[in-house]
Amino acid sequence: MPGGFAEEADYADYTNVLNTTLCDYCSSLEKPFVIFFDESDCLGNGTLISFLRQLRNGFITRSRTPFVHSITIAGMRNIRDYKAHIREDSATLGSASPFNIVTKTFSLSTFSHREITELCLQHTKETGQIFEPQAIDYIFEQTDGQPWLVNAIARECVEEILQNDFTKTIFKDIVEQAIQNIILTRGTHFDSLMERLKEPRVRKVILPLLQGEENVDRESDDFLYVRDLGLIKVDEKTKIITPANPIYAEIMVRAISLNVQSRLFANPEYQTPRYLRDGKIDVNFLLKDFQVFWRENSDIIWDELYEKGLREYKEASPHLILQAFLQRVINGGGRIHREMALGKKRVDICLEWQDQKYPIEIKILRNNKSIVDGLAQTFEYMEKCGSSEGWLVVFDRDVEKLWEEKIYTRQEIYKGKNITIVGA
């Protein structure tokens, strides 16, 4: 802060130092002062209370003592969530509540497809480098316009992959590579978002989402909190709740199943070439390998989730571990497309290898209808993917059953299409 006000402040009086310093500084100004506080929601509970209270006190006494004209508090959470985070509703912060300072709250919107196109055209105008239309389409598809992701992908394409060679056009395959690069490097943006997965409030919403289970209370503070964090979105037309974008869905799965992927990476058996037959993925062989891996490692993986502070996600571990297994073995050039949504009662996965698609449904065995419903859902997803063959992976969580009863493979013909049921 200019004028030495910050240096002269009495930091021992931590409950008043911010208010006093801002008052002194504003007293020296001839014009109104506007200030932005970024990432204030990262402050510890006691510090956050003091911070907000000093801003409130300064603002309500500004008629007597000059103070900041306008304040913006920017962060990942709505200010109502500061209150929920700090204390229980039954507790009190005293009569001078620091939360009575909000005039207006709003969230920064995501970019539309048109805005992403305009952003890329600005780059083209300045440098001559072209973003191919399919590349722009793919950026929008994978980010849903999330501003940080859009800019991070564009930067990765231009500066890291093409090394600022503006003579080279940015095609879709370069964007695909850029997305994988930023996912694997896991920058601070991803770390801060994924650290939220350990919070009980977040887990209440994300856990059923990962499993495709029943809807959560959309009016609850927990749901609004997770939505404000930007982890989920609600389709305006269908009202379906999904991860905010495909990249976040990928990061969620990878963050929770990181140890599984590390174990797979270290084992040379679980690599792409092992599963290729005449240029195609042998999904039956792939899932047979998974059955062995699941039987040998499921208990160990649950213990690791507990140690990482993610024990609440144990219920979703079948979905997460299978997805981690599939991700590792297709990293040699394929893709995995995930469709997770609340209330679907299953998770849709489509492996893509070159021009081939392999639809896989994941179901938890809950009753006699589970497999019947699973066959219908698999058929529906096969139709969507344009595939004549599909796979239904059914996890049996009954601890009383022997593995020999849970592990099986059988073929079913459903409405003229071949579906392989894989028990686990």
pLDDT band with cut points at 50, 70 and 90 for residue 305: low
* Strand partners of residue 356: 353
Average pLDDT, the chain: 82
- Find the mean pLDDT for residues 355-363: 91
Give the integer Cα–Cα distance in Å for 307 and 53. 37
Query: Lowest mean pLDDT: which of 59-68, 143-152, 327-336?
Result: 327-336
Q: Closest Cα to residue 230, out of 78, 112, 83? A: 78
408 pLDDT exceeds 70? Answer: yes
- Find the mean pLDDT for residues 15-36: 89
Contact present, 73 and 37 (Cβ < 8 Å) = yes
Contacts of 89 (CB under 8 A, 6+ apart): none
pLDDT band with cut points at 50, 70 and 90 for residue 375: very high
Amino acid 389 reads E
pLDDT digits (tens, 9 = 90+) for 245-266: 999 988 888 777 766 666 666 6
pLDDT band with cut points at 50, 70 and 90 for residue 140: very high
Q: What percent of the chain has pLDDT over 90?
A: 33
pLDDT band with cut points at 50, 70 and 90 for residue 39: confident
5 pLDDT exceeds 80? Answer: no
pLDDT digits (tens, 9 = 90+) for 387-407: 999 999 999 988 888 999 999
Query: Lowest mean pLDDT: which of 201-205, 268-272, 295-299?
Result: 268-272
90 pLDDT exceeds 50? Answer: no
77 pLDDT exceeds 70? Answer: no
Query: Lowest mean pLDDT: which of 24-28, 228-232, 304-308?
Result: 304-308
- DSSP letter (8 states) at residue 215: P
What order do you get walking across the sheet with 347-353 strand by strand? 335-339, 347-353, 356-364, 389-395, 417-423, 408-414
- Find the mean pLDDT for residues 165-184: 92
Give the integer Cα–Cα distance in Å for 85 and 15. 20
Q: What is the DSSP string of 9-58?
A: S-TT-TTTHHHHHHHHHHHT-SS--EEEEESGGGS-HHHHHHHHHHHHHH
Give the integer Cα–Cα distance in Å for 340 and 226. 16
pLDDT band with cut points at 50, 70 and 90 for residue 9: low
68 pLDDT exceeds 80? Answer: yes
Q: Where are the domains of the chain?
A: 2-86, 113-185, 191-423
pLDDT band with cut points at 50, 70 and 90 for residue 94: very low
pLDDT band with cut points at 50, 70 and 90 for residue 97: low
User: In the CATH hierarchy, which top-level class contains the domain 113-185?
Assistant: mainly alpha
Q: DSSP 3-state assignment of 351?
A: strand
What pLDDT shows up at residue 307? Answer: 54
3 pLDDT exceeds 80? Answer: no
Query: Lowest mean pLDDT: which of 10-14, 94-98, 211-215?
Result: 94-98
- DSSP letter (8 states) at residue 220: S
